[in-house]
């Protein structure tokens, strides 16, 4: 299956960087989603605490 000929190393390099960059874009977005999700949870928590404080 892997009977690659001339310049196969450069081809591999090209595909590796493509995967790296695409993966980087996806990972970056995923990480930001996670950070935002955590912040949202924190805000929810603070809001809930405040509501409890008012009810007491």
Partner 1 sequence: MTDYSPQRTKILQGVTIAAVVLFIIAIYLDLFWVGPEKTQGEAQRIFYVHLGSFLGSFISFGATVWAGFAYLRTRNVSWDIFGLANVEIGLGFAAITIVTGMTWARPIWNTWWTWEPRLTSVAIMWLAYAAYIMLRSGIEDPERRRRFAAVYGIVAFASVLFTIIIIRVRPDTIHPVVAGPTQADPEGGFSVTGRIRDTLFFNLFTFAVITVVLVWHRIRLENLSQQVQWRKIQVLSEL
- List of residues contacting partner 1 (CB under 8 A): 1, 4-8, 10-11, 13-15, 17-18, 21-22, 24-26, 29, 32-33, 36, 39-40, 43, 46-47, 50
Mention every residue, 6+ apart, whose C-beta is less than 8 A from residue 4. 11
Closer by beta carbon to partner 1, 43 or else 55: 43
Closer by beta carbon to partner 1, 17 or else 56: 17
Shortest Cβ distance from residue 55 to partner 1 (Å)? 15
Alpha helices in the chain (DSSP H): 8-55
Cα dihedral: 28, 30, 36, 42 (round 10): -130
């Amino acid at each position: 299956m892997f009977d690659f000929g001339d310049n196969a190393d450069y081809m591999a390099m090209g595909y590796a960087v493509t995967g790296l960059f695409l993966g980087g874009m996806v990972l970056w977005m995923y990480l930001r989603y996670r950070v935002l999700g955590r912040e949202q949870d924190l805000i929810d928590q603070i809001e809930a605490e405040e509501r409890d404080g008012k009810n007491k």
